[in-house]
Amino acid sequence: MPLLRAEEVSVSFGGRRALDTVTLDAEAGRVTGLIGPNGAGKSTLFDVVCGLRRPGTGRVLLDGRDVTREGPARRARRGLARTFQHLELFGRLTVRDNLLVAAELGSGRRHAARTADRVLERLALTDLADAPADGLPTGAARLVEVARALVLEPKVLLLDEPAAGQDGEETGRFAGLLRSLAAEGTAVLLVEHDMSLVMTVCDTVHVLDLGTVVASGPPARIRHDATVLAAYLGEE
């Protein structure tokens, strides 16, 4: 049983299907990629997985347990963390305080500071710890969102376009981070438009188009898949 399974998930917005019986797994120790053109339903699937949106049909299983009826906080306590495509930092707090808010929910007040500092160190954000979050360049702000998710020490980590706005060097380091998280056993589910990042770090890639998974497989195969190319035609 995979650590995370979205099973036959459907979501409609006012009669329009955003997701149509989507089944997708994320395994411990692996980076699973989810790609597809804008509007494909990637962020909606994340909302369903983390409990921000109830699916019309289908289930979400975390470690084999049906969590479909649980709220986001409950799922977070079970080891699910995410970042948002549209940055959701607390702009008026410092970088460290953004992490502390989450860390106190996760490891409790006593260990929060230590956990936050350890994650800041790991993501090379220590020098920015006292900077207000709303003044950060996008690349750094994205990394702080990832850091805030990591202080929860998640078993499953959902990343929604984390590399958007990062420069090449930042993305290179970020790729290393994702691989090391997977090596520690985390199930990483990565939504990303940066194809070279996706192809470098993912063990498996799923392609979503118009709310349906149209292709799945190792990056080397997905890169040349005709369905994938068709899904992206007119996009770039």
Q: Which does 91 bind (CB under 5 to 8 A by kind): Mg ion, ligand ADP, none?
A: none
Whole-angstrom Cα distance, residue 188 to residue 155? 8
Q: Which residues of 16-46 are buried (b: 16+ CB within 10 A; e: fewer)?
A: eebbbebebbbbbebbbbbbbbeebbbbbbb
Q: Which listed residue (9, 31, 35, 43) binds ligand ADP by CB under 6 A?
A: 43
Binding residues among 98-127 for ligand ADP as defined by CB under 6 A: none
* Alpha carbon 59 to its chain's center: 19
State the Cα–Cα distance between residues 49 and 68, nearest whole angstrom: 8
- Among 12, 85, 200, 212, the residue binding Mg ion under the rule CB under 5 A is 85
Candidate residues 38, 86, 127, 236; the one interacting with ligand ADP per rule CB under 6 A:
38
- Which of 2, 18, 25, 43: binder of Mg ion (CB under 5 A)? 43
Alpha carbon distance 200, 43 (integer Å): 22
Closest approach of Mg ion to the CB of residue 75, in Å: 19
Least separation in angstroms between residue 97's CB and ligand ADP is 29
CA 8 to chain centre: 20
Choose among Mg ion, ligand ADP, none what residue 41 binds, the Cβ cut-off being 5 to 8 Å by kind.
ligand ADP
Using CB under 5 A, list all residues that contact Mg ion.
42-43, 85
